[in-house]
Structure 1
């Protein structure tokens, strides 16, 4: 069996910690077995290894997040990138066609598609081993995983299983993606299960579905059409339309950490970062990435979140409204993580037709910021801490605290860190020389 893990989402619900550059799956907040913290994607990788499922894993992400995905998965798995975000169905199809075209999978092989940011117990992943046998014994085309709903939510898909089955699975009567709350309540009365976002099927099933909807089954042709494809979810495109499907029921832990309410419920402490809570602050959480303290006094049931991207103070039950706020703005990211480290925009000053950006760069030890050139701006780097090597136009120089390097427009430049490095970059360019500060 081949496991395709999808890394998608816009990160709006967990702003300001997540966003277009750093998705929620990379947030290093969850308690790890050794007492430290781990990211959602790191937790899933650890659990896949424990369940002996990591022999054939493929990550599909947006091309801008390929490097950071490799970093957070320890460079242990292949990662491919979408040129544009086109939904979970399109991403899953890309993963399948990659495996098929490279000869890593055959039409009769079983494919498991799952989100890379799910939160579940170890038994959840061990059930994956049953998919192949269940597809064979049930003669179905699709296996889903479901769990008992805890409340009528409009944020999940609902699977209605046939009642009375004594097998490890049940035929699916119907599937409905994100119904209104009133409809969700009625579905729960029919013993519907929340869809966990995990699907297993023969590779040939995906090839057949692509042909039915008029899409190519060759990888090159599929990629040629990618930018013009509509956004399609796997749930609506496949799960709702497949007549021969079965569902397995997971009785243990599973939840989607896509809201502040659900995420903070998994944190080991109400305060992460500088700051504190006093007075009646029941069910209040602080997560602060800023270098200044954040305190909450006598306000229960809120989240207080600080990051270089912004500050959010919200009642937990109302925090999802931030998505509407963000859709009304188009600010460029002020913070981002990359394959080599991270960047924080400290200042953004426009003067006439010019622009001055001041940026803090953090480069991880033994990592390299790839060679680049700035055609529309000049740069100055001042090393604040750590040591390494700066290369300008092919000439390498040692770099340690206090060293200054200046690059004119068009100069090729790169940095290799020996120890963890921090440096201040002052970039002087044209007013339109934006703000994609650094890519992946």
Structure 2
């Protein structure tokens, strides 16, 4: 069996925690872990680490790698990159090609598809449903998983269960997000389920359905090598697996599930699934709430105090704060459209960025200087480069740095610092056996990436994923 985790989506609905280049699957919305980590924790109870594949994009690769490395290096090795975003059907087709060609998969092997950003509890019960689905998969069905509704939800798609097949039901039809009146009707009838976006099937069955309903995708993945599929990936239609196959095929089954599930598509849905205090509040982080009721207050770093508020959503981050009325979570999209039109980077970039050598966190930025904290992995180094319009000052907090400035090596120890003048080629390396922590101060006329000349490239691993 193989698991394919879809981790390339660029969702900003949980702004300001989620950004275009830091989507919600990487946010630590759960105690001390992200939704992607939680996904892997579930799957590793059912699949071998080497059988878990992740498909993402170039911008997210190092976010994903920083998490998969915690579990097993084979999971990092089996991380695939979409050359361009083309929705879930082409992504799944690319992953199937990889399984068949690169890891000698069997066409009759069972494959499961999982979103990377859903909340599912309890894990043990979920695993039971995965086991149960094998009956439908081995009967030749593309199997979906439906959540038993707990309320008339208008924000989810629905699956109508048809003929009872014993351990599963044949799918009669899929329904897009319904009106409140329809959602109430579905809840009463009892044979409608929320679409969880999880699938299971044999590779051969999915390929047959691609051939029948998506000939363009089928031709691309069967007439060439994996490398050729990557090279021609831009020719794929942009379409979801639901529209491409599930809603067209007559070979789709559904496994009803009764557990806690949410796609966390808004702060309202996040509030609904979290445990409340006696005042109906969800308080996360350093929060003091006085006469506050039925509210979500999320503190990232700073102390947040509230007095006399009700039905509010407050989310604090390093560089932005959201304050909204509960029930207006979907309106975040309108705010983001305004910010996009204004060219605000706060909807695109987060203050933490992962790179091949480790990560950096933006501490402060204005027109004259930038202060960053760099964490460089053991044995890693930044690229050799120079800046014509700015200087850099490195202060070592922890570890031992090897600074190569204009072909001269300097070793910098904890509490020491070194200055890099304008126009001098330089490279920073971790010379110790533990992560190297650096405070970097940039100052000068130009502080953007326009002022950089690179002499070496250390992203061979990333480039190999795109070949």
Q: Answer yes or no: is the 8 Å Cα contact 1:377–1:428 preserved in 2.
A: yes
Specify which of 398, 409, 412 is matched with residue 398 of structure 1. 412
| In structure 2, C-alpha distance between the alignment counterparts of 1:83 and 1:381, rounded to whole Å | 36
SS of 2:60's partner is: helix
1:250 and 2:268 are equivalent in the alignment? no
Specify which of 361, 372, 394 is matched with residue 360 of structure 1. 372
Higher percent of residues as helix: 2
SS of 1:283's partner is: coil
| In structure 1, C-alpha distance between the alignment counterparts of 2:424 and 2:289, rounded to whole Å | 50
Aligned length: 422
Matched ranges for 1:281-300 at <5 A: 281-290=292-301, 292-300=302-310
Matched ranges for 1:83-98 at <5 A: 83-98=83-98
Q: What's 2:366 paired with?
A: 348
TM-aligned CA distance change 1:257 to 1:408, over 3 Å? same
TM-aligned CA distance change 1:429 to 1:66, over 3 Å? farther
Specify which of 128, 132, 135 is matched with residue 134 of structure 2. 132
| In structure 1, C-alpha distance between the alignment counterparts of 2:376 and 2:265, rounded to whole Å | 28
Q: Answer yes or no: is the 8 Å Cα contact 2:2–2:47 preserved in 1.
A: no
| In structure 1, C-alpha distance between the alignment counterparts of 2:194 and 2:274, rounded to whole Å | 20
Deviation at 1:223, TM superposition (A): 1.8
Deviation at 1:85, TM superposition (A): 2.1
Q: What's 1:57 paired with?
A: 52
| TM-score of the two chains, using structure 2 as the length reference | 0.81
| In structure 2, C-alpha distance between the alignment counterparts of 1:240 and 1:300, rounded to whole Å | 42
1:39 and 2:41 are equivalent in the alignment? no
Deviation at 1:431, TM superposition (A): 7.6
SS of 2:91's partner is: helix
Q: For structure 1, which runs of at least 5 residues remain unmatched after alignment?
A: 32-36, 350-355
SS of 2:228's partner is: helix
Q: For structure 2, which runs of at least 5 residues remain unmatched after alignment?
A: 453-458, 463-467
Specify which of 278, 284, 294 is matched with residue 272 of structure 1. 284
1:241 and 2:248 are equivalent in the alignment? yes
SS of 1:342's partner is: strand
Deviation at 1:432, TM superposition (A): 6.6
Q: Answer yes or no: is the 8 Å Cα contact 1:386–1:400 preserved in 2.
A: yes
Q: Answer yes or no: is the 8 Å Cα contact 2:35–2:117 preserved in 1.
A: yes
SS of 2:37's partner is: helix
Cα-to-partner distance string for 1:247-283 (whole Å, 9 max, x where unaligned): 111122222223212324436884333342111x112
Higher percent of residues as strand: 1
TM-aligned CA distance change 1:376 to 1:408, over 3 Å? closer
Q: What's 1:10 paired with?
A: 10
SS of 1:200's partner is: strand
Matched ranges for 1:300-319 at <5 A: 300-319=310-329
Deviation at 1:152, TM superposition (A): 3.0
Q: Answer yes or no: is the 8 Å Cα contact 1:17–1:309 preserved in 2.
A: no
| In structure 2, C-alpha distance between the alignment counterparts of 1:322 and 1:369, rounded to whole Å | 39
1:331 and 2:331 are equivalent in the alignment? no
Q: Answer yes or no: is the 8 Å Cα contact 2:300–2:317 preserved in 1.
A: yes
| In structure 2, C-alpha distance between the alignment counterparts of 1:357 and 1:238, rounded to whole Å | 52
| TM-score of the two chains, using structure 1 as the length reference | 0.85
Q: What's 2:116 paired with?
A: 116
SS of 2:97's partner is: helix
Q: What's 1:172 paired with?
A: 171
Deviation at 1:93, TM superposition (A): 1.8
User: What is the RMSD computed on CA atoms of the aligned residues?
Assistant: 3.0
TM-aligned CA distance change 1:202 to 1:274, over 3 Å? same
Q: What's 2:157 paired with?
A: 157
Cα-to-partner distance string for 1:33-80 (whole Å, 9 max, x where unaligned): xxxx22212222222223355451001111111111121231521212
Cα-to-partner distance string for 1:219-260 (whole Å, 9 max, x where unaligned): 233322333544321222221111111111112222222321
SS of 1:156's partner is: coil
Q: Answer yes or no: is the 8 Å Cα contact 1:308–1:344 preserved in 2.
A: no
Deviation at 1:362, TM superposition (A): 3.9
Q: What's 1:380 paired with?
A: 392
1:389 and 2:391 are equivalent in the alignment? no
| In structure 1, C-alpha distance between the alignment counterparts of 2:315 and 2:386, rounded to whole Å | 34
| In structure 1, C-alpha distance between the alignment counterparts of 2:71 and 2:428, rounded to whole Å | 21
Q: What's 2:456 paired with?
A: none
| In structure 1, C-alpha distance between the alignment counterparts of 2:215 and 2:129, rounded to whole Å | 31
| In structure 2, C-alpha distance between the alignment counterparts of 1:128 and 1:53, rounded to whole Å | 14
Q: Answer yes or no: is the 8 Å Cα contact 2:412–2:418 preserved in 1.
A: no
TM-aligned CA distance change 1:167 to 1:376, over 3 Å? farther
SS of 1:29's partner is: coil
Q: What's 2:145 paired with?
A: 145
Q: What's 1:34 paired with?
A: none
TM-aligned CA distance change 1:19 to 1:146, over 3 Å? same
TM-aligned CA distance change 1:399 to 1:84, over 3 Å? farther
Q: Answer yes or no: is the 8 Å Cα contact 1:11–1:23 preserved in 2.
A: yes
Specify which of 227, 238, 247 is matched with residue 220 of structure 1. 227
